[in-house]
C-alpha cells in the first residue's frame, strides 16, 4: 500500500510543479514512472491512466524511451 501512496504523492507534486514550470523545465525535473507489477495491480484505473499520460508526455517532450 505504501507504493500507491508514493505514486499519488508523486502525481500531486508533478501536477503542482508542471503548472509552474516552462515546457523545457519538465524534462529537467520529471522522470519516467516505472512501477512493479504489484504496484500497478494495486492502482486504480485512473491512477494507471495518469501514469501513462505522464510517461507519454515525457516521451513526446523529453524523448524518453519505454
Contacts of 38 (CB under 8 A, 6+ apart): 3
Question: SS3 for 30?
Answer: coil
Higher pLDDT, 43 or 16: 43
Give CA–CA dist 27/42, Å, rounded. 28
The confidence score (pLDDT) of residue 9 equals 67
How many helices (H) and strands (E) the chain has is answered by 4, 0
Q: What confidence category does residue 11 fall into, taking pLDDT thresholds of 50, 70 and 90?
A: confident
pLDDT tens digits, 34-48: 999 999 999 999 999
The confidence score (pLDDT) of residue 19 equals 53
Q: How many CA atoms lie within 13 A of 41 on its CB side?
A: 3
pTM as predicted: 0.62
Amino acid at each position: 500500500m505504501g507504493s500507491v501512496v508514493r505514486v499519488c504523492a508523486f502525481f500531486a507534486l508533478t501536477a503542482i510543479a508542471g503548472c509552474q514550470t516552462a515546457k523545457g523545465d519538465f524534462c529537467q525535473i520529471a522522470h519516467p514512472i516505472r512501477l512493479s507489477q504489484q504496484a500497478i495491480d494495486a492502482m486504480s484505473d485512473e491512477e494507471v491512466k495518469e501514469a501513462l499520460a505522464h510517461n507519454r508526455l515525457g516521451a513526446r517532450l523529453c524523448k524518453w524511451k519505454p
